[in-house]
Amino acid sequence: MTKTRTKKLKNRVNKTIQVCGRKFQVAWGKGNLGGQFHTIHTTTGGGLIVLGDEPKDEYYQLTNLIHEVLEIALTVRGARWRESDERVVFTLDHDKFTEVCLDLTRGLVETGLIAIKEVGDK
C-alpha cells in the first residue's frame, strides 16, 4: 500500500474508542511496528492503544488494531494470563468466546472503520 493510503487509514480511525465499556485513546507511534495497549486502572478501565505506523501497509496496521481490541476484550473478560516464561496465554470457554466476539465487533464499530447498515442502505 502507498504512504497516502496509510495516512487515510490513520485519519479514518477515531481518536477515542470504547472497548468493553472502557474508553481508550488511539495514538500512532511514528516509526513503530505492531501495537500495544495500556490500561489506566484495571477495574474502571480506560487507557491508551498505541499503533505503529510501520510498515506502511494498511492491512498490517488494521490487523494490529484488531489484535489490540481483541486482546483488551480477552483481558477484561479474564481470559488472559502470563505464564512464568513471559508468554501470554488465553483460555476461554465457548460462552466467553461469544462475549469476546461481541466485544470485538463493538470495538471495531467504535473505530469508525466499519458500520452496521440497514438492508437497502448505500
pLDDT tens figures, 13-51: 899 999 988 999 999 988 888 899 988 765 666 899 999
111 closest CA partner among 64, 45, 43, 44: 64
The mean-pLDDT minimum among 4-8, 25-29, 82-86 falls in 4-8
Does the pLDDT of residue 61 top 70, yes or no? Answer: yes
Does the pLDDT of residue 2 top 50, yes or no? Answer: no
d(CA 22, CA 42): 10
